[in-house]
Amino acid sequence: MSLLELIAAADERGLAASGAACLDRCLPQPAAGDEADPLRPLWAGCADAASWPDRLAEARAALDALPGAEPAVQRIRKLLGEAPAARAGARLRDWADACSALALEIHLGHDAGRAGRTGLVERCRAGEPQGAGPLLAGETARQVRILEMLAEIGDRAPMGAGLRQVLDVSTEGQRVLRAAVARRARVRA
């Protein structure tokens, strides 16, 4: 299944977790003294729908407390601000879809020689990744893997089932992107 099909078929927990994971992977390396994981509260809201509104508010406050004015942080703040207070319905699906697109755009922006290629993100989301660089292709595969993992678990599983594995996959993706960004910064310097 394509990424778009997986998002369309995902349950509410899958949408919340995939959206949170996408935003989490796009956070830049924290500066000394900054909150290392400002979106951590959101993961608890992925496990428990009843706590989603409170955890969403905590994550927004933690992200707002970061001094970073980087474009990625601003875009994550905007999307987090648009997250629905209820972890349900079409607004949640739209939000998860927007988080997916943002993560792919950010990865494309760091793929050497591929930034600005029109339609590449859309093709990757539709299951046609030809021409994608390693960061964009890797992020597409990561999003597919996460949604497939969550779909296998299903809504009837215990509250936090599978979220640890999703967080592990997301953390590895975060390391990959941060390493690529650091490498590019060293080359430019």
- How many structural domains does the chain have? 1
User: Could you please report the per-residue DSSP string of 32-65?
Assistant: TTS-S-TTHHHHHHHH-GGGHHHHHHHHHHHHHT
What are the tokens at 118?
Answer: 């029109």
- Does the pLDDT at position 156 exceed 70? no
Residues with Cβ < 8 Å from 180, sequence gap 6 or more?
110, 135
Query: Is the separation of the CB atoms in 24 and 30 below 8 Å?
Result: no
Select the more confidently predicted residue: 131 or 60.
60
Q: What is the pLDDT of residues 115-132, one digit of tens each?
A: 556 789 999 999 998 888
Residue 135 has pLDDT above 60, yes or no: yes
The predicted-structure confidence for 13-49, as pLDDT tens digits, reads as follows: 999 999 999 999 998 887 766 767 889 999 989 888 9
Q: Exposed, middle or buried: residue 7 (CB in 10 Å: 0-12, 13-18, 19+)? A: buried
Mean pLDDT confidence for 132-140? 93
pLDDT above 90 coverage of the chain, percent: 56
- Tens digits of residue pLDDT in 85-102: 999 999 999 999 999 999
Q: Which domain holds residue 131?
A: 3-188
3-state secondary structure (DSSP) of residue 189: coil
96/143 Cα distance (integer angstroms): 11
Q: For residue 161, is pLDDT > 80?
A: no
